[in-house]
Each structure stands twice: as C-alpha cells, then as structure tokens.
Amino acid sequence: MALLSLDHVQLAMPAGREEDARAFYCGLLGLHEQTKPANLAKRGGCWFGREALKVHLGVEGDFQPARKAHPAFIVDDLADFRKTLETAGCLVVEDEPLEGYDRFYVYDPFGNRIEMMQPLQP
C-alpha cells in the first residue's frame, strides 16, 4: 500500500461568492474552471484546474479562512505573478527565506492563504 499522488486541494469559501472565485483563480492565477458533477454543483462553490493542478472551492456555512494552512504553487515567473497580483489589489506578504526558493504569500478573495514559489536556479 502506498500513496501515489495528490488529486486536488480543497479550500473553503462563503456562499454566493463564485464570481469572486472565478476572478481570482481564473482571471489572476490562470486556472480554468472545471464542471462540477451535477450532484455536487447544487452545493455551490467552484472547481478549477490546469493539467495536474486542481483546486476545489467548497461552500462552508460557518466560513473561516485558512490563514495558516495553505496550498503552495510552483510558478514559472514569480516576479510577474507578484506584479499581476499587486496590480489587482491583492495583499502580497513576504515571509522568512526558504532555501532553494523565492516565495511569497497571497490571499484569495476570501482570506485563504496561498504560497507562490519559484525554485532558484543553481
């Protein structure tokens, strides 16, 4: 028995904010919205992805943003992502250095923390 891979990351969101999710995850992060199965679509929320990367946002009645727990995404141009996010008014936060990476945190429209990372060239 062995774990093989990660299928998706799920984050919570408040009800009725799907357009905000689309603007951030599609418009700023460049993911594509995926169709939710009909039996799950009635719950609200959105699914996004690109190739092997999948992020599901599910509606949580008593929503509290994930301020410590977070997904970390590897990006190909951290400086460009930062400029895009800051220009859109997103809060970008520096943290302690992590050997081998440049990185920062950004918060989605609901306050969930997301780490953006780019490996340093040797």
Please state the three-class secondary structure of 25-36 as a single string: HHHHCCCEEECC
Q: What angle do CA 30, 12, 79 make, to 5 degrees?
A: 35
Cα 91 to chain centroid, rounded: 14
State the pTM of this model: 0.94
What is the sign, positive or negative, of the torsion defined by CA atoms of 40, 43, 47, 52? negative
The pLDDT of residue 110 is above 80: yes
| Residue range 28-42, pLDDT digits in tens | 999 999 999 999 999
Q: How confident is the model at residue 4, as a pLDDT? A: 87
Give pLDDT tens digits for 37-94. 999 999 999 999 999 999 999 999 999 999 999 999 999 999 999 999 999 999 999 9
Residue 122 has pLDDT above 80, yes or no: no
Neighbours of 90 (CB within 10 A): 17
Q: Do 93 and 105 meet the contact criterion of CB atoms below 8 Å apart?
A: yes
